[in-house]
Amino acid sequence: MQLRVLMLEDSDNDADLLLRHLRKSGYTLDYVRTETPEVFREALQRGPWDLILSDFTMPRFSAPDALAIVKELAIDVPFIVVSGSIGEAAAVEAMKAGAHDFFLKGNLARLAAAIERERAEALLRHQHRRAVEELRESQAQLRDAVHARDAFLSIASHELKTPLTSLSLQVESAAQILQGLALDTGSASRLEAKLKGVSRQVTRLTTLINGLLDVARITSDRMQLSLDRFDLREAIDSVLTGAEDIIARSRSILRVDTPAPAVGSWDRLRIESVIFNLVSNATKFGASKPIRIALETHPTEAVLVVADQGIGIEPSEQERIFRRFERAVPEKHFGGLGLGLWVAREIVEAHGGSISVTSEPGVGSTFTVRLPIAGGAPPA
Ligand code: ADP
């Protein structure tokens, strides 16, 4: 077996003894022998070496000095001290300085085994370092990709918003013109129904794009709350009116339990988008079974619950679904970007609140949002 050895030894006899022992142990040697720091440093840098075999003391050099150079150059090579008369204190000193093992020249029986062990360990360390480096590199890759995606999201949603705003204004003015026209009732109501359809789709697109804009803002830390004092029941009503369509299509029966007002300072549009997201998920994953929306008012917080009896979520997925682009269902069956719950959590936490889920597969999911009445004041 080939062994590249850097040998620190001043005595010819001792060097011969060592070389003979290694050859007898089955190694084919490729070695450099020196006793000076200069040659050692130069040879070490030139490398690579499988092993450094070093005497403990030499007239101009010593094992601890050599170990200091190895450390300085950050080169990982097994370092074994072989000394004529190493005392216990010197052996401890060598090991502390980074030597991997030490032997007495008169007792080399275990040397080959130690060399093999140290070579294997050095290989493991090398592989570990490479894996860590590769991981670091791929994380840096990933960061760039995430950054590019976020920048794209931000630009695309801004660009989409401009024509959509104009479209929405045009739909409104068309509706006004329609009212002023002397059409026969049949045509007027058909046209009105069509315009309402267009308007509903424009509203849906606007909600989607506002969601994307929120993602872009959260990513760049620009989400600023615009606080307003209102009753959460108003927000629930407004969401349910806007979601009439999807609720009807889901065939789920909705039960709304909002016995008392819950007035606080929150960002109305954002809280509405949280409620909308939970309700729309409940219709999407609720298997057409009843959905319950409940509001509890406490002295310092309001608690909103959206519960369905649908497909439920595996325990292992229950934390993951709050992360960006994470979904626990196949795309083929349920459309969606996997952003809703992430945005919802960001919004609720920006208000100093929390959002959580309890769920059992096949039984249903209950999402609970806790909002401090003071709102907008996350704990320091
Ligand atoms: P999207 O609905 O666009 O996929 P969300 O972030 O709103 O994104 O939800 C992430 C995932 O969480 C969903 O894809 C689904 O797997 C799971 N999920 C959310 N709400 C429910 C629910 N009420 N019942 C079952 N699974 C749900």
pLDDT (tens place) for every residue of the chain, 380 residues total: 899 999 999 999 999 999 999 999 999 999 999 999 999 999 999 989 999 999 998 999 999 999 999 999 999 999 999 988 767 788 888 888 899 998 888 888 899 999 999 999 999 999 999 999 999 988 888 888 877 877 787 778 778 888 888 888 888 888 888 888 877 778 888 888 888 888 888 888 887 888 787 777 777 666 778 899 999 999 999 999 888 888 999 999 999 999 999 999 999 988 998 999 999 999 999 999 999 999 999 999 999 999 999 999 999 999 999 987 777 777 666 666 678 898 899 899 999 999 999 999 999 999 999 999 976 544 44
Place of tokens 């050895």: 5
Tell me, yes or no, if the pTM score tops 0.75.
no
Protein residues whose CB sits closer than 6 Å to any atom of ligand 1: 277, 281-282, 285, 308, 310-313, 321, 327-329, 336-342, 365
CA-277 nearest atom, ligand 1: 7
Query: What pLDDT is recorded for position 379?
Result: 44
Q: How far apart are CA 156 and CA 154, in angstroms?
A: 6
- Nearest protein Cα to ligand 1, atom 12: 321
| Tokens standing for residue 280 | 């729309």
Query: What pLDDT is recorded for position 221?
Result: 65
Query: What pLDDT is recorded for position 310?
Result: 97
CA-282 nearest atom, ligand 1: 23
- Nearest protein Cα to ligand 1, atom 16: 328
Residues sharing a CB contact under 8 Å with residue 62, sequence separation 6 or more, in sequence order: 56
CA-338 nearest atom, ligand 1: 8
CA of 78 to the centre of ligand 1 (A): 54
State whether residue 305 is helix, strand or coil. Answer: strand
CA of 336 to the centre of ligand 1 (A): 8
Confirm if 216 and 161 have CB atoms less than 8 A apart: no
Confirm if 178 and 192 have CB atoms less than 8 A apart: yes
Given ligand 1 and candidates 207, 281, 283, 333, which is best to mutate, with the most ligand atoms within 8 Å of its CB? 281
Confirm if 328 and 320 have CB atoms less than 8 A apart: yes
- Number of residues assigned to the chain: 380
| Best CA proximity match to 7, nearest among 81, 60, 59, 92 | 81
What one-letter code names the amino acid at 40?
A: F
Between the alpha carbon of residue 338 and those of residues 45, 113, 127, 342, the distances in Å are 52, 56, 37, 8
Q: How far apart are CA 344 and CA 81, in angstroms?
A: 63
- Nearest protein Cα to ligand 1, atom 11: 327
How would you classify the pairing of strands 51-54 and 2-8?
Answer: parallel
> Between helices 232-242 and 268-285, what is the axis angle to 10°?
50
CA of 87 to the centre of ligand 1 (A): 69
Query: What pLDDT is recorded for position 370?
Result: 98
Q: How far apart are CA 213 and CA 153, in angstroms?
A: 8
Q: How far apart are CA 306 and CA 341, in angstroms?
A: 13
